[in-house]
A and B are shown apart, each in its own frame.
Chain A
Amino acid sequence: MGISLSVKIGKLSLKNPVLVASGTFGYGEEYKGLVDINKLGAIITKTITLKPKAGNKPPRIAETPQGMLNSIGLENCGSETFIKEKLSFLKTLKTAFIVSIAGYTKEEFSKLAKRLEDEGVKAVELNISCPNIEYRKGKLNFSQDAKSTYAVVRQVKKSTRLTIITKLSPNVTDISEIAKAAEEAGSDALSLINTLLGMAVNISTRTPLLGNITGGLSGPAVKPVALRMIWEAYNSVKIPLVGMGGIMDASDAIEFIISGAAAIGIGTANFINPEASLEIIGGIKKYMKENKIKNVKSLIGTLKCPTRN
């Protein structure tokens, strides 16, 4: 039985639904000797900004039960160095790549997106949800407010023809409202969740474990939250969803697909097992064979829900 794993995200055709999440796979080249990158559905790069960013004060990570906190602070080499030094490798790949971008204003987002489009990039992920930087003084990050989400996505949509994936924060009251705003603004897809804002304390020194005090929680600990949000978003928008948050194996990935994700992102698992995403692709195929599913698309959002009281 032939199995079809291909999915479409905006104008991007992916050979399979397994992506590697932003910030967990560098710009691809770093994993060249460890992973057969061309087998991945797509790479989402580490977020880049117009100008280089030094990142946050160490310590930047802390381990927590079934998870990790990070406060990297979007350290990156800036768009021009990215274009000069990182982009050519990504272009040699026989798999899709999506450039994650961030800015402090909607204009910065669109300027960066346009610059990348001119360099031959086909898709961007708008990181409007990093919990570790202050996008605008004293304000919430863009994705914590429906109007700001709309404004950023709209601005990029107006200025480019790129496939736009908008990355959403779980640190919100109502994910459907934000998801709808991004869809209305013209986002081709949504990716969720970014990390959950958290912290950890050393009780001997009474100091936070992270140099930036708070950080974003990822790993298996956040999976139930991510799954719930995918399901809620799936019930509110029609655009495809890239589900991520604590996926460690194929079973986790399939839960996301059943709950509504058209594709899934592997994040923290890459740190523990660089080949996690490849193993997950294999596991999804096996599940499909066992359950006589020919096309992965027919599995998306097939959750059978009991009636709630």
Chain B
Amino acid sequence: MKKAKIKILSNYSLKKPYHKLSAYSDYISKLAKPGQFVHIKCSDNNTPLLRRPFSIYSVSKEKGTFEILYEVLGEGTKLLSQKKRENFLDIIGPIGSGFSYNVPFANSHLPILVAGGIGVAPLVFLAERLAKSKIPACQGKAAGRKNQKSKILVLIGTKTKSLILCKHEFKKLGCDVKIATEDGSLGFRGIVTDLLRKELITHNSSLITGIYSCGPRPMLQEVSKIAKQHKIKCQVSLEELIACGVGVCLGCAVNTKSGYKLVCKDGPVFNSDEIIWG
């Protein structure tokens, strides 16, 4: 983890209210792991006062850049959205534990990524690393079943069609992408956790290596419950207001079975069965 002033390569609106920002940082592009975040000072003064955490969405080691996706929600993200190419960005990162995905990943084994809204951001990065890790694992136990082709399954949920992000990025990585919209404007009509339930009926849960999820807390709680019912390991990326980002202020505590843990230092990714949702 380092603090740095880095240059912005691009920062533009993808579709309302979502933005994509790319910036130069050799350090982050080399070290970042899926699920980690950067802590950004969005204002040049004390309004708003605190930094804002953003999951890393992609890195390019070749170009020495990384990208974040963000939703313009409040004063901080509004100021961030106004920053231009060549402007400097005050960041601390990469921060946090990230997803752990060292489980053997064979062709016949299926990871499921469940995203709610802007929660797609760290999961694109994860899907990319998972897709890469597929090849060596094929030589393992499942090699004999190579023909049983299965893909990374990605479930994205939003209120409506126009808010869906990264569908094509996931497809390019070879993922099987399914959409849930609350208004039924695309794909499954309903919330993404109901889509997950439906998918788990058709897939043999013993072949599922894990569920990885990022989105609003109630969604994550539900994903966690479903994973438990199906006895599938599940990791969730939690969000809290984060002040220091380095584990000193103890502000971003979440209640777990082993006491309070910090989203910034122990997380943001946790095994879902550790969390006391309450």
Contact = CB atoms under 8 A, between A and B. Distances in A.
B190 interface: no
Interface string A22-38: 01111000110110000
B250 interface: yes
Contact of A275 (B3, B48, B241, B253): B3
B49 A30 contact: no
B252 A219 contact: no
A34 B259 contact: no
Interface in A91-149: none
B47 A75 contact: no
Nearest to A61: B251
Given A60-B251, A61-B252, A219-B46, A31 B246 contact: yes
Interface in B229-267: 240-241, 243-255, 259-260
A31 B3 CA distance: 11
B1 interface: yes
Given A33-B1, A34-B1, A275-B3, A268 B49 contact: yes
B50 A75 contact: no
A31 B248 contact: yes
A254 interface: no
B41 interface: yes
Contacts of B253: 55, 58, 60, 72, 75
Contact of A54 (B41, B48, B260): B260
B246 A75 contact: no
B46 A66 contact: yes
Contact of B246 (A63, A67, A248, A274): A274
A271 B244 contact: yes
Contacts of A34: 1-3, 92, 246
| Majority SS at the chain A contact face | loop
A75 B250 contact: yes
- Tier of interface size on chain B: 20 to 34
B46 A59 contact: no
Nearest to B259: A54
Interface residues of A, number: 35
A272 interface: yes
Contact of B248 (A46, A67, A68): A46
B51 interface: yes
Contacts of B248: 23-26, 30-31, 46, 270-271
A248 B253 CA distance: 25
B260 A23 contact: no
B1 A61 contact: no
Chain B interface, >50% SS class: loop
Given A54-B260, A58-B253, A30 B246 contact: yes
A67 to B, nearest CB: 7
Contacts of B51: 271-272
Contacts of A55: 250, 253, 260
B254 A58 contact: yes
B47 A65 contact: yes
Nearest to B74: A63
Nearest to B251: A61
A68 B254 contact: no
Which of the listed residues B1, B46, B249, B260 has the most CB atoms from chain A within 10 Å of its own CB? Answer: B249
A62 B46 CA distance: 15
B36 to A, nearest CB: 16
Contacts of B247: 26, 30
Given A268-B49, A271-B244, A272-B49, A60 B250 contact: yes
A70 B259 contact: no
Contacts of A57: 255
A275 B249 CA distance: 16
B243 A274 contact: no
Contact of B2 (A31, A33, A63, A270): A33
Contacts of B250: 23, 46, 55, 60, 72, 75
B49 A220 contact: yes
B113 to A, nearest CB: 27
Interface in A174-229: 219-220
Contacts of B1: 33-34
Nearest to B265: A30
Interface string A13-56: 00000000001111000110110000000000010000000110
B47 A61 contact: no
B48 A63 contact: yes
Contacts of A66: 46-47, 49
A54 B255 CA distance: 10
A72 B249 contact: yes
B115 to A, nearest CB: 24
B41 A70 contact: no
Given A61-B252, A72-B249, 12 more contacts: A23-B248, A23-B249, A30-B248, A34-B246, A46-B248, A60-B251, A61-B251, A68-B243, A75-B253, A220-B49, A271-B51, A271-B248
Q: Which 8 A-B pairs have the closest CB atoms?
A: A26-B248, A61-B251, A271-B244, A271-B243, A220-B46, A72-B250, A58-B253, A66-B46
5 contacts: A34-B3, A54-B259, A55-B253, A272-B49, A274-B3
Interface of A: 23-26, 30-31, 33-34, 46, 54-55, 57-63, 65-68, 70, 72, 75, 219-220, 248, 268, 270-275
Interface of B: 1-3, 41, 46-51, 92, 240-241, 243-255, 259-260
